């Protein structure tokens, strides 16, 4: 079962970086440098799933098809511990969420039907033709095998009510707690079951409430978790299908035969991702340490007896923001994953005892907004990860102390490219030790000086890591030292660091970033006169904050999808009122307005004088472009050199490969032109 925490974030923008120390300069042929052409060759590897016997792993491989302007994905399988992978779905171009049947004799996955709606398909484990199991009138969102393998539960959105006559032309709808660009009422999602051989689906739940959901980019949906006897399903529900009510989430259990639903705890907020223990006596779930202040506090794994009792945290001592949690097969503990310093790590956490960290070396776990890692009953691990010089591949560990072995070679081309070295850097800021990732040009020479380019991560509940970062490597290949700072609010340094952003969205994080810049400027190879600040989403917020509060420090800036006005973010974004947990209240109270104005970059627009590129989607529901427009208008009226490039579409990040590449090109070329693009002898 694959789980991710839906963190309170704007969304990190692109890939991430890698690890090293300084060395002698190298002379490199020009063709060996990393270029935009190389990014076209990046293959995605993810969503690994282990068979019950631990002898096979299935996974998804995705590639960009630039001619058709779409991402295409296929299902692959590899025998363990190491056999050449084989393609299972050669005739398909869209496959997701593979899951082995409990007995390991079949694979279920999602793929579109003739109308383009995702349906459930089942493929024999030995290969062959997949059989369509559902023909649901709305798309299947996610699913789970019943423990006996004879049926599956799935989540699907309720159909729109049928209209006849003049009513067909009535398009009014109840807006509620939604974003400014929504054009219809969102319908609830509910649970259905279907035989594994196909046939009529049976509805299990109904009502005006909905299964917990999120709009991408965001964490994956809360899973449907069957009790071991197949009689009940644990799930997460929200009071209404409105994005602004996603703080009102609660774990619950439904009896499949009757549809009776009951809550497991007395809490009604921020519970997610219930997972049934192997013995059927306990549910594990994710919840922030202080559920009333999600904006900065780490998410922990809690357990609660199914028969009733008080929940308890099993990861408090770990003090990390848990992104993934799975039960061990014997129920003795959990496999968890979380960001830790500048990597994504995994631990075995006993229900009673100290956590054991897996020795992943320089590998950084990957997978959506979490980590794709699974463990078999006999202790074998399969996961996807990036390494310092390579995009994601599939790896195996035969035990919790074994050395990881790479199973796939889809990104073999990376071995022919001279990438820049990276290292973790640290510095003091207020009462914290902050950290970040530094990427050097591939032919770095400590006797020369280089421009410094900031690539600030989004979120804010995210972090920059020493994995493969296409964006940072492109900038480094153009002759810049790239700095990715983890400011307070980042999820990699524990509860106190993460919580410190609550009510201090800009000033505290701004000090963290500026002190990191000051530390780097003390190095003789950093050109103090050439510093470019950039970022997307919350990174765009931080960029806007830095040019308004430290105006003399920057050569140029790129603010992508920037939050510049917390009042607009509160009123118009899909998260809307939930932003009160980060900023400290509503703008419609006197005290709340003062707080939000003080934390809004647009308040400091009169100080701005940095040449700035602004980019945004013009129907961005996560960060409405009203804020980018305000920043652009302010800079124009103040005579500051500025340009605003808009992208069409209701999305926060480009979703098609052509526009993904175009955004990267615009970003990198702007940085190259404004940083000088050359080293200085």
Domain count, the chain: 1
Enter the DSSP assignment of 522.
T
- Scored b (16 or more CB within 10 A) or e, 325-342 reads bbbbeeeebbbbbbbbbb
Spatial distance between the Cα atoms of 306 and 263, rounded to a whole number of angstroms: 10
Q: Is residue 20 part of a domain?
A: no
CA atoms within 13 A on the CB side of 563: 32
Does 42 have pLDDT greater than 80? Answer: yes
**pLDDT of 286:** 95
Report the distance separating Cα 417 and Cα 609, nearest Å.
38
The two structure tokens encoding residue 456: 């600030």
pTM here is: 0.93
Per residue in 138-176, pLDDT (tens digit) is 999 999 999 999 999 999 999 999 999 999 999 999 899
pLDDT digits (tens, 9 = 90+) for 578-590: 889 888 889 999 9
pLDDT band at 563 (very low <50, low <70, confident <90, very high): very high
Per 3-state DSSP, the chain is made up of helix, strand and coil in percentages (nearest 5) of 20, 35, 50
Q: How confident is the model at residue 82 (pLDDT cuts 50, 70, 90)?
A: confident
pLDDT of residue 81: 80
* Alpha helices for 27-147 (secondary structure H): 36-39
Instruction: Please give the average per-residue pLDDT across 623-631, as a whole number.
Output: 98
Tens of pLDDT along 512-550? 999 999 999 999 999 999 999 999 999 999 999 999 999
27 pLDDT higher than 70? no
Contact of 435 with 418, CB cutoff 8 Å: no
Mean pLDDT estimate for the chain: 91
pLDDT cut 70: percent of the chain above it: 94
Domain with 469 in it: what CATH number?
3.40.50.1820
Q: Do the domain assignments include residue 620?
A: yes
Q: How far apart are CA 536 and CA 44, in angstroms?
A: 22
Angstrom CA distances, 335 to 282, 322, 345, 371, 593, stand at 16, 10, 11, 11, 43
The answer as to whether 448 is a domain residue is: yes
Mean pLDDT, residues 609-613 = 97
| Residue span of the structural domain in which 485 resides | 418-675
| pLDDT reported for residue 102 | 93
**How much of the chain, in percent, has pLDDT values that exceed 90?**
85
Tens of pLDDT, residue by residue over 61-79, are 999 999 999 999 999 999 9
- How confident is residue 217, by pLDDT bands cut at 50, 70 and 90? confident
Would 647 be classed as within a structural domain? yes
To 5 degrees, how large is the angle CA 152–CA 153–CA 159? 125
Distance, in Å, from the CA atom of 442 to the CA atom of 334, rounded to the nearest integer, reads: 40
At residue 291 the predicted structure's pLDDT band, cuts being 50, 70 and 90, is low
> Could you tell me how far CA 556 lies from the centroid of its own chain?
28
Count the neighbouring beta carbons within 10 Å of the beta carbon of residue 262. 9
> Is position 177 within any domain?
no
Residue 10 confidence class, pLDDT cut points 50, 70, 90: very low
CB 267 within 8 A of CB 287: yes
* Average pLDDT for 118-131: 90
Whether residue 279 has pLDDT greater than 70? yes
Q: pLDDT digit string (tens) for 452-500?
A: 999 999 999 999 999 999 999 999 999 999 999 999 999 999 999 999 9
Give domain status of residue 215, yes or no. Answer: no
At 517, list the tokens: 């810049």
Q: How far is CA 147 from the centre of its chain?
A: 29
Mean pLDDT within 80-108: 91
293 within a domain of the structure (yes/no): no
- Contact present, 583 and 507 (Cβ < 8 Å): no
Q: What is the pLDDT of residues 356-415, one digit of tens each?
A: 999 999 999 999 767 999 999 999 999 999 998 999 999 999 999 999 999 999 999 999
CB 583, CB 615: distance < 8 Å: no
- Residues with Cβ within 8 Å of 92's Cβ and at least 6 positions away in sequence, in order, are 74, 75, 111
- Does 10 fall in a domain? no
3-state class (DSSP) for residue 681: coil
Name the band, by pLDDT with cuts 50, 70 and 90, for residue 677. Answer: low
Cα→Cα distances 479→49, 294, 364, 443, Å: 41, 40, 25, 9
Per-residue pLDDT at 551 exceeds 50: yes
């Amino acid at each position: 079962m694959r789980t991710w925490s839906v963190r309170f974030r704007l969304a990190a923008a692109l890939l991430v970086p890698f690890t090293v120390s300084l060395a002698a300069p190298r002379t490199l042929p020009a063709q060996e440098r990393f270029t935009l052409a190389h990014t076209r060759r990046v293959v995605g590897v993810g969503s690994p799933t282990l068979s019950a016997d631990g002898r096979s792993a299935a996974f998804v491989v995705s590639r960009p098809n630039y001619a058709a302007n779409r991402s295409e994905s296929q299902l692959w399988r590899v025998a363990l511990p190491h056999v050449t992978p084989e393609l299972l779905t050669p005739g398909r171009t869209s496959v997701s969420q593979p899951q082995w049947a409990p007995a390991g004799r079949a694979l279920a996955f999602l793929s579109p039907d003739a109308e383009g709606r995702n349906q459930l398909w089942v493929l024999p484990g030995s290969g062959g033709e997949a059989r369509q199991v559902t023909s649901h009138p709305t798309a299947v969102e996610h699913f789970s095998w019943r423990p006996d393998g004879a049926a599956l539960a799935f989540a699907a959105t309720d159909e729109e009510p049928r209209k006849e006559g003049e009513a067909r032309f009535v398009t009014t709808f109840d807006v509620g707690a939604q974003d400014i660009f929504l054009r219809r009422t969102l319908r609830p999602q509910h649970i259905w079951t279907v035989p594994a051989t196909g046939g009529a689906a049976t509805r299990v739940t109904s009502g005006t409430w909905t299964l917990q959901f999120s709009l991408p980019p965001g964490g994956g949906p809360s899973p449907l978790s069957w009790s071991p006897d197949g009689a009940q399903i644990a799930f997460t529900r929200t009071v209404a299908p409105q994005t602004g009510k996603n703080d009102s989430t609660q774990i619950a259990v439904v009896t499949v035969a009757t549809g009776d639903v009951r809550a497991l705890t007395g809490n009604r907020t921020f519970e997610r991702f219930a997972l049934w223990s192997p013995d059927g006596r306990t549910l594990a779930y994710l919840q922030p340490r202080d559920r009333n202040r999600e904006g900065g506090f780490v998410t922990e794994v809690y357990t609660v007896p199914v028969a009733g009792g008080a929940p308890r945290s099993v990861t408090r001592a770990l003090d990390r923001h848990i992104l993934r949690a799975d039960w061990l097969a014997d129920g003795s503990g959990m496999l968890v994953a979380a960001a830790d310093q500048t990597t994504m790590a995994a631990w075995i956490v006993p229900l009673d005892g100290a956590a054991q960290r897996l020795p992943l070396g320089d590998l950084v776990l990957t997978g959506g907004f979490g980590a794709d890692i699974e463990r078999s009953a006999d202790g074998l691990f399969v996961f996807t990860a990036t390494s310092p010089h390579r995009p994601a591949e599939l790896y195996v560990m035969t035990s919790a102390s074994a050395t990881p072995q790479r199973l796939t070679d889809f990104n073999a081309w990376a071995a022919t490219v001279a990438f820049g070295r990276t290292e973790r850097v640290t510095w003091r800021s207020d009462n914290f030790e902050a950290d970040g990732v530094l990427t050097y040009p591939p032919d770095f020479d400590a006797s020369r000086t280089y421009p410094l380019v900031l690539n600030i991560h989004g979120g804010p509940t995210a972090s920059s890591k020493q994995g493969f970062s296409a964006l940072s490597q492109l900038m480094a290949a153009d002759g810049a030292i790239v700095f990715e700072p983890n400011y307070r609010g980042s999820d990699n340094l524990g509860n106190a660091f993460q919580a410190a952003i609550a009510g201090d969205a800009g000033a505290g994080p701004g000090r963290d970033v500026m002190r990191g810049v000051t530390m780097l400027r003390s190095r003789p190879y950093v050109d103090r006169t050439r510093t470019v600040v950039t970022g997307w989403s919350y990174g765009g917020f931080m960029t806007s904050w830095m040019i308004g509060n430290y105006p003399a420090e920057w050569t140029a800036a790129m603010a992508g999808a920037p939050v510049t006005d917390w009042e607009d973010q509160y009123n118009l974004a899909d998260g809307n009122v939930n932003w009160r947990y980060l900023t400290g209240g509503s703008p419609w109270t006197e005290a709340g307005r003062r707080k939000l104005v003080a934390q809004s970059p647009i308040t400091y627009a009169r100080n701005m004088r940095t040449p700035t590129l602004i980019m945004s989607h013009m129907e961005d529901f996560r960060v409405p472009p009203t804020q980018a427009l305000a920043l652009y208008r302010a800079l124009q009226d103040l005579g500051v050199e500025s340009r605003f490039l808009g992208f069409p579409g209701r999305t926060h990040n480009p979703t098609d490969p052509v526009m993904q590449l175009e955004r990267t090109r615009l970003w990198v070329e702007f940085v190259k032109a404004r940083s000088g693009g050359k080293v200085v002898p």
